[in-house]
Structure 1
Amino acid sequence: MSLRRQRRGAAILASMLMSVLAGSGAFAQEPDAKNTAPQETVARADGALLRGLDKVSGRTTDLRVQVGDSVRLGRLEIRLGECRYPADDPSSDAFAQLTITDQSENVTRFSGWMIASSPALSALDDARYDVWVISCQI
């Protein structure tokens, strides 16, 4: 997939996610008198726990990163922009905004939101490394 298509897809996914998280109703059905579910509130965390996989060695590494900071996984630099979670149940899911850059080629490999419960929905496309969100760190 071209970087342009990947960025466009990530931007669309982020827009949809933000709409859902903000409760703007982008995908919400019109409420009727019988079926009104309460909107789930989200909270922001100070950091996130990510897991990285080196597909060549088979080694996994847990990466703790604070909002605004970055960590290294081999040749990748992973920067956390934001981490959100359901305020009612912090351990249930996490949504992290990540930018992953290949330092050897100075190319952005991923930029967008990753969701802990659906890692394949928006995944890093790299031949050697895999990165996914485990949880937000409160």
Structure 2
Amino acid sequence: MIRVLALTLAVLCPLQAAAQEMQAAPGGTLRLLDKVTGRVADLALSRGQSVGQGRVTVQLDECRYPRDNPAADAQAHLTVVDTAAGTTVFSGWMLASSPALSAMDHHRYDIWVLSCDSGFVAPDVTAPEEDPDAPLEEINEG
């Protein structure tokens, strides 16, 4: 009986995985926190570029964003090397919307993804011109 019910539900209510189409970006922006000094630095990197910051070197291997919504969740593949110890402390994907899902475990530094360079530029918004000498409109409640 349970098998029949499960089969019926599977046929009547098919689950479709909503896979987003991802677009590769030429670069991205990361944020680095030095937990000892409290300093925060934003790192704008191109794909394949690395930068040394304090005792770590951060390399942006890849950055992707949803094609249909460029301002949405960024995903970046990073390689982070502790230059003092000469060891790789992180190599993998980080998600901007869930930084704790795949976080770097380092005693001094935290790194997370802010965004990918999608080429998206928000349109300019201009405020309507107002006459400073015009009387204010009154709101009548009736």
Backbone CA RMSD of aligned residues: 1.9
The 1:37/1:47 distance shift into structure 2, 3 A limit, reads same
Residue 65 of structure 2 corresponds to 85
- Structure with higher Rg: it is 2
Distance 1:31 1:79, change over 3 A: farther
Q: Which of 83, 97, 101 does residue 103 from structure 1 map onto?
A: 83
Query: How far does residue 33 in structure 1 lie from its aligned partner after superposition?
Result: 6.4
TM-score (norm 2): 0.71
User: Following TM superposition, where does structure 1 have runs of at least 4 consecutive aligned residues deviating by more than 4 angstroms?
Assistant: 30-38
The alpha-carbon distance between structure 1 residues 39 and 122, as it changes in their structure 2 partners (threshold 3 A), is closer
In structure 1, how many angstroms separate the alpha carbons of the residues matched to 2:11 and 2:92? 30
Tell me what 2:30 maps to: 50
**Residue 119 (structure 1) aligned with residue 99 (structure 2):** yes
- In the TM superposition, what are the counterparts of 1:19-98 in structure 2 within 5 Å? 36=16, 39-98=19-78
Higher RCO (CA 8 Å, separation ≥ 6 residues): 1
Deviation (angstroms), 1:32: 6.4
With normalisation by structure 1, the TM-score equals 0.73
For 1:71 and 1:31, how far apart are their aligned partners in 2? Answer: 53
Residue type of the alignment partner of 2:99: P
Structure 1 127/31 Cα, relative in aligned 2: closer, same or farther at 3 Å?
farther
Aligned to 2:69, the other structure's residue is in SS state: coil
Structure in which a larger fraction of residues adopt helix: 1
Q: Which amino acid aligns with 1:93?
A: D
Aligned residues with identical type, % of pairs: 50
**2:137 is the counterpart of 1:131:** no
